[in-house]
Copies of this chain bind each other. A is one copy, B any other.
């Protein structure tokens, strides 16, 4: 139908539409996702090294033509119910997003008007800033306080007159964990909303999550993702937990059909296979310990990791090592910005991938 080949030269003139763009959008740099290269040892974007649950793959194979033909259930109710059962909350405290990035976007759009302020400890996940720019909001960075082998939450974080305070816990890219008691204190002190992004919390051991305390803090929003411990980064699924009245308001802001039917089915299957999930987490933690033991040989240091990656302090050769690893077919994450220029973020991979990384590093150091 329609079109066919237009037989016209492309891009005949610069776009007249450009001058109607929001100036702040035109001026901004987009968020740069980690490189998505295939055919290499990929230790740069903190995915799970093992495949998702066999239940998930069975759900994928079982997906019927009807679930593609028809619109998805708009509120992902089945996933909400499975999440409620898995995490001990009620289904009306859950919102499912097209990745937890979508959950973040929904929160920003619901709470922030241009000129409103968000605050986060720094350095952290760069997307928090990108989304603020998109919303015309002001960002305040308050530096983390390195202390011993961890990073402490800055004491002034609660005093920034911010509508939203966002803390990744464990933090990305440092992998450090702030104790639950400190975050509860922050939530209580805050005249605003506290968003705790728990993308990596399963790797932090028991008692690290704020979810069991959700009912005590009506200004608290907790985010979880299927992209890390559930091995479903490709499915785009995130969970938001909050007071039911907050969830009801956020539902108005999300795209009406924000999560596709297949991903909804996969999410339910993943949540229902608790044993496999526990096993993925256990294997990751055990492999993290082995990697840490081996990396000490290079004289590198890193803050205590409560996540599935390490932020290694490697000194002024960081970029050089990043590039050498890349040409050896091993991708890790390096940022050109301070205070990360001298560091490499390394995802815990499968044992054989970590071995390749260690061999390559030995060669570089030899």
Chain A contacts to B: CB under 8 angstroms: 1-18, 20-22, 25-26, 28-31, 33-34, 36, 42, 45, 47-48, 50-52, 56-57, 60-61, 63, 65-74, 87-90, 93, 98-99, 101-102, 105, 109-114, 127, 134, 136, 163-164, 192-193, 201-202, 205-209, 211-216, 218-221, 227, 229, 231-236, 242-246, 249, 251-253, 255-263, 266, 277-278, 281
Contacts and interface: CB of A to CB of B under 8 A. Distances in A.
30 contacts: A1-B205, A1-B206, A1-B209, A2-B87, A2-B201, A3-B211, A4-B88, A6-B88, A6-B89, A6-B211, A10-B89, A10-B215, A15-B218, A15-B242, A22-B112, A22-B113, A29-B252, A36-B70, A36-B72, A36-B73, A47-B69, A47-B70, A47-B71, A51-B68, A69-B232, A69-B233, A70-B233, A71-B227, A72-B233, A260-B260
Given A31-B256, A235-B262, A218 B71 contact: no
B98 A246 contact: no
Main secondary structure of the interface of A (DSSP, over half): loop
A127 B69 CA distance: 21
Contacts of A242: 15, 17
A81 to B, nearest CB: 14
A329 to B, nearest CB: 16
B93 A134 contact: no
A33 B89 contact: no
A10 to B, nearest CB: 5
B113 A136 contact: yes
Contacts of A201: 1-2
A105 B70 CA distance: 22
Nearest to A195: B17
A246 to B, nearest CB: 5
A71 B233 contact: yes
List of 4 A-B pairs having minimum Cβ-Cβ separation, nearest first: A30-B252, A51-B65, A234-B261, A15-B243
A265 to B, nearest CB: 10
A261 to B, nearest CB: 4
Residue of A68, A233, A236 with highest tally of chain B CB at under 10 A: A68
A47 to B, nearest CB: 6
Given A69-B48, A73-B36, A244 B2 contact: no
A86 B225 CA distance: 35
